[in-house]
């Protein structure tokens, strides 16, 4: 979108043409639904993000509508029409619908949400908004977060409703609130995070008065539930421009409330500037990891890239020679990552994967640039497990040096490691490294039943396998018997 300048009228005509094109595309299903509401004596309008995205020329098959019908009336209207209906959000006035519709010559599935006109606000101690229903679309739009999300198109007549200048702000690429930002953020403090998220998703600027209110009211975010905060952070991190949103969170003090490890990375430079700005480095690693993504945004990789160095502030030491060290920051960082992600109510699987990548991100450098032994390669693959591809991307992204010779040397060294992994995978099936004898064979060889000794024997054989590669069965049996004899002595 062009910036707000003398070209704004042209920008508006461009977005209006896009909107007409997008609305015509979805009009069969939207008009069909609108006529049903009209026949029941209610109004219906496309609203919020759907209108914004239509104006940006990127309206998908997720459609948001608003209506004066109460949720029970909405259910009566949509149930005979929809392919499926869900009521997960009905306590907040939202009914979900899935409907197959025609788009040109194709049939497509539409995910639809119909929300009753409403207003919502927090009190000083609540962690959830209190919802009350409204009777006019104007009242509904004024309570929305930003002007670019406070536009509607009344259906089926397709009347454009924009009481707060959202179209102008969309053309200018700016985020403003319909009323004062203080009132908006007081109603729902999560909107402060949404400002950063939309800045990152849309590459928009946030109006100065909105930024000022975010700084002044940052502590209000603490009454919002961890789950809601987490979802906004995810959307921000998975956006096209996460650096922009993250920098806004740090600059306004919001990050200090929801992800304090990030602003803590802004370590003071020592007088000789012997270590780089860890905060800027982490944002650069995130961007470089994004460049290596192959199948769309990867939340695990992006979180690991952002958090990989959060152990550095806790482990920083100024050495006698004037240097700076961060010994074992990967271990400390993995623990901090687990603690923060758990506090934000991430799934156990996601916590495990991200913290494991943080723990492993320095493993490659521990071997230097020399020739890797087969044993070292096996252990690298074993320790990474299913995260190996992400570990490759994270390790490569972690090189942010401006020294081209050093960067090229690191890249060549990692190329060499990947080649070695590929060679050994071809020979040994590295992805499923296991001992050459299974539990039953161990018990048969030792003449013992199930118990702790079988686990110890299994671990011994696994270490042998990692060190020496595959063994013939007879050799594995001999080695196991030798180990067992040593245990008996």
The percentage of residues in the chain with a pLDDT greater than 70, rounded to a whole number, is 87
**Range 336-369 burial, b when 16+ CB lie within 10 A, else e:** bbbebbeebebeeeebebbbbbbbbbbbbeeeee
Is the per-residue pLDDT at 20 higher than 70?
no
CA distance 115 to 143: 13
pLDDT of res. 148: 96
The percentage of residues in the chain with a pLDDT greater than 90, rounded to a whole number, is 51
pLDDT of res. 309: 93
Helices vs. strands in the chain: H and E counts, helices first: 22, 13
Is the per-residue pLDDT at 285 higher than 80?
yes
CA distance 266 to 57: 38
CA distance 1 to 280: 27
Higher model confidence: residue 287 or residue 370?
287
> What sign has the CA pseudo-torsion 196, 202, 208, 210?
negative
**Residue 369: band (very low, low, confident or very high) from pLDDT cuts 50, 70, 90:** low
**Residue 29: band (very low, low, confident or very high) from pLDDT cuts 50, 70, 90:** confident
Q: What is the DSSP letter of 57?
A: T
CA distance 416 to 394: 16
Angstrom distances, CA of residue 15 to CA of 63, 83, 413: 18, 32, 49
CA distance 118 to 47: 13
pLDDT of res. 163: 93
Q: What is the pLDDT of residues 95-128, one digit of tens each?
A: 999 999 877 677 889 999 999 998 765 566 666 6
Dihedral pair phi/psi, residue 293, rounded to 5°:
-65, 140
**Residue 475: band (very low, low, confident or very high) from pLDDT cuts 50, 70, 90:** confident
Beta bridge partners of 114: 65, 95
pLDDT of res. 44: 96
- Give the best-scoring range by mean pLDDT among 82-86, 419-423, 480-484: 82-86
pLDDT of res. 451: 76
Is the per-residue pLDDT at 1 higher than 60?
no
Beta bridge partners of 106: 103
Cis geometry, peptide bond prior to residue 156 (ω within 30 degrees of 0): yes
Helical residues (DSSP H) of 85-188, grouped into ranges: 137-142, 166-172, 181-187
**pTM attached to this predicted model:** 0.80
pLDDT of res. 219: 95
> What sign has the CA pseudo-torsion 381, 383, 387, 389?
negative
| Pair 358, 384: CB distance under 8 Å | no
Is the per-residue pLDDT at 130 higher than 90?
no
Q: Which residues contact 288 (CB under 8 A, 6 or more apart)?
A: 305, 396, 397, 400
Alpha-carbon torsion, ordered 204, 205, 209, 215, to 10 deg:
100
Report the SS3 class of residue 324. strand
Report the SS3 class of residue 282. helix
Q: Which helix (H) or strand (E) holds 246?
A: helix 242-252
Mean pLDDT of the chain: 85
Chain centroid offset of residue 85 CA: 28
pLDDT-wise least confident of 53-62, 123-132, 246-255, 472-481:
123-132
Is the per-residue pLDDT at 82 higher than 70?
yes
Is the per-residue pLDDT at 444 higher than 60?
yes
According to DSSP, the β-strands at 118-121 and 130-133 are: antiparallel
Q: Rounded to the nearest 10 degrees, what angle do helices 226-237 and 190-202 cross at? A: 10
| Pair 193, 249: CB distance under 8 Å | yes
pLDDT of res. 368: 56
pLDDT of res. 122: 59
Angstrom distances, CA of residue 350 to CA of 242, 257, 302, 432: 19, 22, 12, 22
| Pair 229, 258: CB distance under 8 Å | yes
CA distance 238 to 118: 29
pLDDT of res. 196: 98
Higher model confidence: residue 175 or residue 442?
175
Residue 382 tokens, joined: 């074993």
Is the per-residue pLDDT at 241 higher than 60?
yes
pLDDT of res. 362: 87
Which bin fits 93, alpha (ψ -120 to 50), beta or left (φ > 0)? Answer: left
Q: What is the pLDDT of residues 182-235, one digit of tens each?
A: 999 998 899 999 999 999 999 999 999 999 999 999 999 999 999 999 999 999
Q: What is the DSSP letter of 87?
A: -
Q: What is the pLDDT of residues 294-343, one digit of tens each?
A: 999 999 999 999 999 999 988 888 878 777 778 889 899 999 999 999 99
Dihedral pair phi/psi, residue 465, rounded to 5°:
-65, -45
Q: Mean pLDDT throughout 243-272?
A: 87
**Residue 141: band (very low, low, confident or very high) from pLDDT cuts 50, 70, 90:** very high
End-to-end CA distance of the chain: 78
């Amino acid at each position: 979108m062009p910036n707000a300048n003398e070209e704004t009228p042209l920008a508006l005509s461009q977005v209006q043409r896009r909107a007409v094109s997008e609305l015509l595309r979805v009009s069969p299903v939207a008009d069909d639904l609108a006529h049903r509401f009209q026949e029941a004596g209610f109004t219906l309008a496309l609203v919020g993000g759907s209108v914004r995205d239509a104006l940006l020329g990127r309206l998908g098959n997720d459609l948001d509508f608003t209506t004066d019908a109460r949720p029970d009336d909405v259910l009566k209207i949509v149930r005979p029409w929809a392919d499926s209906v869900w009521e997960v959000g009905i306590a907040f006035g939202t009914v979900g619908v899935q409907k197959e519709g025609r788009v040109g010559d194709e049939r497509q599935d539409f995910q639809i949400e119909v929300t009753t006109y409403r207003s919502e606000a927090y009190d000083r101690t609540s962690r959830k908004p209190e919802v009350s229903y409204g009777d006019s679309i104007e009242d509904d739009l004024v309570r929305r977060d930003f002007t670019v999300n406070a536009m509607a198109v009344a259906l089926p007549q397709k009347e454009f409703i924009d009481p707060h200048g959202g179209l102008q702000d969309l053309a200018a690429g700016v985020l403003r609130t319909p009323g004062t930002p203080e009132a908006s953020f007081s109603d729902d403090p999560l909107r402060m995070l949404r400002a950063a998220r939309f800045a990152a998703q849309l590459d928009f600027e946030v109006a100065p008065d909105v930024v000022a209110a975010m700084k002044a009211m940052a502590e209000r975010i603490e009454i919002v539930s961890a789950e809601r905060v987490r979802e906004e952070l995810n959307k921000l991190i998975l956006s096209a421009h996460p650096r922009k949103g993250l920098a806004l969170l740090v600059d306004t003090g919001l990050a200090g409330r929801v992800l304090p490890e990030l602003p803590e990375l802004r370590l003071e430079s020592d007088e000789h500037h012997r270590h780089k700005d860890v905060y800027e480095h982490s944002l650069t690693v995130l961007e470089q990891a994004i460049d290596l993504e192959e199948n769309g945004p990867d939340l695990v990789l992006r979180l690991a890239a952002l958090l990989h160095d959060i152990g550095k502030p806790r482990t920083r030491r100024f050495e006698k020679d004037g240097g700076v060290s961060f010994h074992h920051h990967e271990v400390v960082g993995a623990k901090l990552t687990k603690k923060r992600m758990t506090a934000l109510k991430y799934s156990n699987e996601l916590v495990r994967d991200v913290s494991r990548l943080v723990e492993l991100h320095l493993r490659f450098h521990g071997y230097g640039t020399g020739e890797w032994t087969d044993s070292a390669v096996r252990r690298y693959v074993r320790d990474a497990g299913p995260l190996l591809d992400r570990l490759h991307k994270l390790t490569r992204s972690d090189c942010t040096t401006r020294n081209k010779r050093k960067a090229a040397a690191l890249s060549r060294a990692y190329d060499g490691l990947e080649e070695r992994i590929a060679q050994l995978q071809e020979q040994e099936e590295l992805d499923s490294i296991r001992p050459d004898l299974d539990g039953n064979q161990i018990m048969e060889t030792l003449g013992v039943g199930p118990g702790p000794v079988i686990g110890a024997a299994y671990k011994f054989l696994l270490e042998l396998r990692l060190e020496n590669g595959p063994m013939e069965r007879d050799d594995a049996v001999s080695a196991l018997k030798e180990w067992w004899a040593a245990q008996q002595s």
